[in-house]
Structure 1
Amino acid sequence: MERNEGLKIVEKQLTKKRYEHTVRVMETALELAKHYHVDEKKVEIAAIFHDYAKYRHPEEMKRWIIQEKLPHDLLNYHQELWHGPVGSKMIEREVGIRDPEIQSAIYWHTTGKRYMTLMDKVIFIADYIEPGRDFPGVEEVRSIVFADIDQACWMAARNTICFLMSKNQPVYPDTFQLYNEKIGRNMNGK
């Protein structure tokens, strides 16, 4: 799929502000893909479609979670987390994108997880640091991302966990696993 075709498809699914965010995520992800030697075409498609399901009705997303046998524990967390896993399935059924690497990057872009692929990391962190983002800690992550994408992902997970805890909100277990993966490597001297 060509860039313009993908952008036209997602533009119909998103608000103007979210579409602009998507373009910035795509541009950031492509910079990271070049730097880390990740398949740029796949990264581009994953970035374009990462928020494809973002504005679907919660009841529709709930049906997708149940029908597609996605982890039912998602239903115990804020619906903001649902659009990644649901979107990874929707793009297959509605758009015809059947690429496990692209679908994985879309699936994990909100929570992250332990043992992410490099493409997963690129989409996860591009979504976090794109130039339109402005929140405490984002500059610190931006400053390290081209030197150490693993450290950047860990910092993003740490910041997200701290933010959610400050709001007394639950943290999805895979985000803790991402955080713990890096801590475990540091403790073992790797």
Structure 2
Amino acid sequence: MERKQALALVKEQLRPKRYEHTVRVTDTAISLARHYKLDVKKIEIAAIFHDYAKYRNPNEMKRWVLSEKLPQDLLEYGPELLHGPVGSIMIEKEVGIKDPEIQSAIYYHTTGKRNMSLFDQIIFIADYIEPGRSFPGVEEVRSVVYHDINKACWLAARNTIEFLMEHEQPIYPDTFQLYNEGLVKTGRNVNG
């Protein structure tokens, strides 16, 4: 699928500001894919479709979780968390994109997880650092992403956990696992 066609399909699903975000995530992901020598076309498709399910009705997403046998605990963390896992299935069923790498990257782009592939990491971090993002900690992540993507993902997980805790929001376990793994990978684990 070509970029123009993919963007047209996604544009129908998104609000204008989210569509603009998607274009920026895509351009960021392409830059990272080139730097880390991954398949640019596949990264481009994953980035374009990463928020495909973002504005679907929460009840529709709940039905997808139940009918597709996604982890039931996803339902305990609110509809914001569902668009990644549900979107990873919807792109196959509605658009015909059946690619495990693309689907995994979309599934985990919000929470991250332990043992992310480089492909997963690029979509996760491109979503986090795209140029339209402005919040505490994002510049630190941007400053390391091109020389240590593991550290960038760890910093993003750390910042996300801190933000959610400050706002008394639930934190999905995959994000904690990414954070803990990052402690080891970045040499910060005092017990390691």
Q: Same fold (TM over 0.5)?
A: yes
Q: Give the corresponding residue for 2:67.
A: 67
* 2:94 aligned counterpart, secondary structure: helix
| Aligned pairs (5 A) from 1:39-50 | 39-50=39-50
Structure 1-normalised TM-score?
A: 0.98
Q: Give the corresponding residue for 1:120.
A: 120
**Identity among equivalent pairs (%):** 69
Q: Distance in 2 between matches of 1:81 and 1:150?
A: 22
Give, as a single letter, the amino acid of the residue that structure 2 aligns with 1:50: H
Give, as a single letter, the amino acid of the residue that structure 1 aligns with 2:42: K
Q: Give the corresponding residue for 1:162.
A: 162
How big is the shift at 1:189? 9.7
| Aligned pairs (5 A) from 1:162-181 | 162-181=162-181
How big is the shift at 1:76? 0.4
On the 8 A contact 2:43/2:119 being kept in 1, the answer is yes
Q: Distance in 1 between matches of 2:154 and 2:191?
A: 16
How big is the shift at 1:5? 0.4
How big is the shift at 1:52? 0.1
| Aligned pairs (5 A) from 1:56-95 | 56-95=56-95
Q: Distance in 1 between matches of 2:25 and 2:174?
A: 22
On the 8 A contact 2:91/2:97 being kept in 1, the answer is yes
Q: Would you identify which runs of 4 or more consecutive aligned residues in structure 1 move more than 6 Å?
A: none
**Deviation sequence 1:89-124 (CA, Å, 0-9, x none):** 000000000000000000000000000000100000
How big is the shift at 1:152? 0.2
Give, as a single letter, the amino acid of the residue that structure 2 aligns with 1:143: S
Q: Distance in 2 between matches of 1:107 and 1:188?
A: 31
**Greater alpha carbon shift after TM alignment, 58-67 vs 179-188:** 179-188
How big is the shift at 1:38? 1.1
Q: Give the corresponding residue for 1:105.
A: 105
Q: Give the corresponding residue for 1:184.
A: 184
On the 8 A contact 2:153/2:182 being kept in 1, the answer is no
**Deviation sequence 1:47-85 (CA, Å, 0-9, x none):** 000000000000000000000000000000021110000
Q: Give the corresponding residue for 1:18.
A: 18
Q: Give the corresponding residue for 1:96.
A: 96
Q: Which runs of 5+ in 2 are unaligned?
A: none
Q: Distance in 2 between matches of 1:125 and 1:189?
A: 27
How big is the shift at 1:188? 7.9
How big is the shift at 1:184? 2.7
Q: Distance in 1 between matches of 2:167 and 2:18?
A: 24
Q: Distance in 2 between matches of 1:47 and 1:145?
A: 17
Q: Distance in 2 between matches of 1:160 and 1:78?
A: 16
Give, as a single letter, the amino acid of the residue that structure 2 aligns with 1:112: G
Q: How many residues align?
A: 190
Give, as a single letter, the amino acid of the residue that structure 1 aligns with 2:11: E
